[in-house]
Structure 1
Amino acid sequence: MPAVPILALPCQFLTVPINYICRTMALCLETEQLETVQRILSLHFEGLEVWAYGPRLTGVDLTPETELDLVVIAERPLSFEAMTAVEKAFAESGLSFRVDVMDWAKLPETMQKQIKKEHEVVQTVAED
């Protein structure tokens, strides 16, 4: 059997539409969903790196409705206004799953260590 690139592996859902393909190892987002997530992130957190972590990355108990856990990597805590605005944007985005956005600077060190071990970069730092 020929090798299949990991980016083309189907998601591990029990019933999956044929177009539901894992763009990354386990995020299992349709192209349009990933583009929506990245568009919202770039509008609200331009120039900051954003990582995905949690069930969509690990594949544990994964369904198409599984929430997407994101963390914004910033040296200083993000403002309440910025976090509220991005939460509202995701709530109004029409995505079929919830998106939880966390602030790296406000996470406990134990959680930071766990996320560092297993994450996927969703938005990279803008190059000057």
Structure 2
Amino acid sequence: TTDFLARVADRRRDARPEKLVWQPVLDWKRQFYWLWWDEPLRNAIVVAELDREANEVRVESEQSLKGLSVLLDEQLLDFSREVVVRVNGAVCFRGTPRPSLAVLLATSGGVDAARTYVARVPVGD
């Protein structure tokens, strides 16, 4: 355990990674970093990537994404510019995300204040 602690002591956790790979296995876990799924499809694989330069989010999955949303704030993307969200290559949102108190409250209930967001863009069919 001492070797392990020495290896991880200098590492910083990234609370807002640019790439996510989520395979839900717990029905009650609806938030995974900056993704939110009302009813996660068990064992589906979702790959999501932020492109901060293009101000864009890309989501890929072979399974249904019904109820899936991308959570956003000004730390992830620039709300003063047009935001684009693509699912499997197709644009599903183009515009300015609207901050919402409901989203802020829904994402602030956990123990990690770094994963609190202000806007939600639905991407599921």
Scaled by the length of structure 1, the TM-score of the pair is 0.33
Higher RCO, 1 vs 2 (CA within 8 Å, ≥6 residues apart): 1
Compare the two structures and name the one with the higher strand fraction. 2
Compare the two structures and name the one with the higher helix fraction. 1
